[in-house]
Amino acid sequence: MKRLLTPGPTPVSPEVAAAMAAPLVYHRAPAFKEVVLRVRENLRWVFQTKGEAIFLTCSGSGAMEGAVANTLNRGDLAITIRAGKFGERWANICKAYGVQTHNIDIEWGKAVTVEQVKKALDENPKARAVMVQASETSTGVAHPVKEIAALVKSRPDTLCVVDGISALGVMNLPMDEWGIDVLVGGSQKAFALPPGLAFAAVSAKAQSFMEKSDLPKFYFSFTKEIASQSKGETAWTPAISLVMGLDAALNGMKAEGLEKLFGRHKTMANATRAGVKAMGLELFAPDSPSDSVTAIKAPGIDGQAIVKDMRDRHGITIAGGQDALKGKIFRLSHMGHVDRFDVLTALAASGDVCTRLGARLDVAKGLAASEAVFNAQN
Ligand SMILES: *Cc1c(COP(=O)(O)O)cnc(C)c1O
């Protein structure tokens, strides 16, 4: 039995797989138009916005690039929060487009503080955007998006741009209520689809920035895509099968309801963390952990060996650390189409592998602590 517990891609449910396996429909046919219009409404529901929401045929990074290219201008200044691999990506995209950045560099494993963002905004009053990850997947950290959005909301010339790729469908990100201006997502995280689609939603404020933006854009023109999708069309040939899968995935999310969806993820995250600690392992980001993925310190052994043995011995694919964290941590994902027994299996197998590699752990105690979290919910 093979299990996929990486923080993207995540397992695909049989219902979604079946929807994607149906005979192809023509993307200009009336049947597909209906799907596009429904997906558009349901995306707005997930993003909790009355603003515009679109899907794009690309991976999540394409929507990140689109967020920059569609809202900013040549020579603009943006504040980025570089607390991991994906925070770096905001800064790198800006650089590629000639947008200057003021980077708030945070030690990997820590969240940015509201004070740090406030200071950066006060010192850079011309900043046109603050760009942050809701969940920094490379370190397992959640940033204080609600508070950051509140800081930006009162500044008419600054946008709050949030990478919610590993957060949408996991934690509450009420775009309109919090004042998030651009929110991006990706298909292969909590939406539990294969990779290949990205999502973006824009507030009215962001749309006023879009009207003035002079950065080059063609395939990723949000304006063109919004105009098409509001009529049930797409600007280009979309990944039709993935959109059929998205329709099924969104229907599933709607049936579960946002509150239950977030609650299920919170419980799986809590149960993972409780199990990790009780067996004698250490969380990499204990202070502000993301509910999407748990990063765990490799206990005096090579983290890459843990990843390899999980795969070779137990058929479980997990993620290791990236860049400076390579070999130092391993990451267990608990987002999307996963449940209590995926969490318990991941904990049991991690404990087994670490013990075989020489760590001294109490795996049974970890499993009991994790079970207790689940049982307390029933
Ligand atoms: C996965 C991920 C991305 C990158 O998405 P791709 O689909 O690989 O382009 C960006 N940001 C975060 C937070 C992610 O988890």
Distance CA 11, CA 337 (A): 6
Task: Give nearest CA residue, ligand 1 atom 6.
Answer: 60
Q: Please give the distance, rounded to the nearest whole angstrom, from the Cα atom of residue 95 to the centre of ligand 1.
A: 18
The β-bridge partners of 332 are: 294
Q: Please give the distance, rounded to the nearest whole angstrom, from the Cα atom of residue 375 to the centre of ligand 1.
A: 32
Which of 6, 138, 141, 166 for a ligand 1 pocket mutation test, highest count of atoms within 8 Å of Cβ?
166
Question: In terms of DSSP bridges, do strands 316-317 and 3-4 run parallel, antiparallel, or are they unpaired?
Answer: parallel
For residue 189 the two structure tokens come to: 């995280």
Q: Please give the distance, rounded to the nearest whole angstrom, from the Cα atom of residue 96 to the centre of ligand 1.
A: 18
**Digits of tens for pLDDT over the chain (378 positions)?**
899 999 999 999 999 999 999 999 999 999 999 999 999 999 999 999 999 999 999 999 999 999 999 999 999 999 999 999 999 999 999 999 999 999 999 999 999 999 999 999 999 999 999 999 999 999 999 999 999 999 999 999 999 999 999 999 999 999 999 999 999 999 999 999 999 999 999 999 999 999 999 999 999 999 999 999 999 999 999 999 999 999 999 999 999 999 999 999 999 999 999 999 999 999 999 999 999 999 999 999 999 999 999 999 999 999 999 999 999 999 999 999 999 999 999 999 999 999 999 999 999 999 999 999 999 997
Nearest ligand 1 atom, CA 64:
10
Question: In terms of DSSP bridges, do strands 100-105 and 77-82 run parallel, antiparallel, or are they unpaired?
Answer: parallel
- Cα distances (Å, whole numbers) of residue 46 to 158, 174, 175, 196, 345: 24, 9, 9, 18, 29
- Cα distances (Å, whole numbers) of residue 308 to 4, 140, 159: 13, 20, 42
> What's residue 1's pLDDT?
87
Q: Please give the distance, rounded to the nearest whole angstrom, from the Cα atom of residue 186 to the centre of ligand 1.
A: 7
State whether residue 78 is helix, strand or coil.
strand
Q: Please give the distance, rounded to the nearest whole angstrom, from the Cα atom of residue 278 to the centre of ligand 1.
A: 30
- Cα distances (Å, whole numbers) of residue 22 to 42, 249, 359, 374: 21, 15, 48, 36
170, exposed or middle or buried, with CB in 10 Å at 0-12, 13-18, 19+? Answer: buried
CA angle 88, 185, 370 (to 5 degrees): 90
Where would I find the H helices in the chain? Answer: 14-21, 30-47, 60-71, 85-96, 114-123, 145-153, 175-178, 204-212, 222-229, 240-256, 258-279, 303-314, 340-356, 363-376
Q: Please give the distance, rounded to the nearest whole angstrom, from the Cα atom of residue 184 to the centre of ligand 1.
A: 10
Which of 129, 61, 150, 63 lies closest to 53 in space, CA to CA? 63
Q: Which domains are assigned to the chain?
A: 14-256 (3.40.640.10), 257-376 (3.90.1150.10)
Per the CB < 8 A criterion, the answer to whether 143 and 161 are in contact is no
Mention every residue, 6+ apart, whose C-beta is less than 8 A from residue 355.
Answer: 361, 363
Q: Please give the distance, rounded to the nearest whole angstrom, from the Cα atom of residue 188 to the centre of ligand 1.
A: 9
Which of 58, 108, 165 for a ligand 1 pocket mutation test, highest count of atoms within 8 Å of Cβ?
165
Question: In terms of DSSP bridges, do strands 141-142 and 135-136 run parallel, antiparallel, or are they unpaired?
Answer: antiparallel
Residue 190 host element (H or E): none
The β-bridge partners of 141 are: 136, 289
Q: What is the pTM of this model?
A: 0.98
Question: In terms of DSSP bridges, do strands 319-320 and 135-136 run parallel, antiparallel, or are they unpaired?
Answer: unpaired
Per the CB < 8 A criterion, the answer to whether 164 and 118 are in contact is no
Report how far apart the first and last C-alpha atoms of the chain are (Å, whole number): 28
> What's residue 63's pLDDT?
98
Per the CB < 8 A criterion, the answer to whether 88 and 82 are in contact is yes
Distance CA 107, CA 33 (A): 46
Q: Which residues line ligand 1 (CB under 6 A)?
A: 8, 59-61, 86, 133, 135, 137, 163, 165-166, 186, 189, 195
Q: Please give the distance, rounded to the nearest whole angstrom, from the Cα atom of residue 100 to the centre of ligand 1.
A: 22
Nearest ligand 1 atom, CA 133:
13
Nearest ligand 1 atom, CA 195:
7
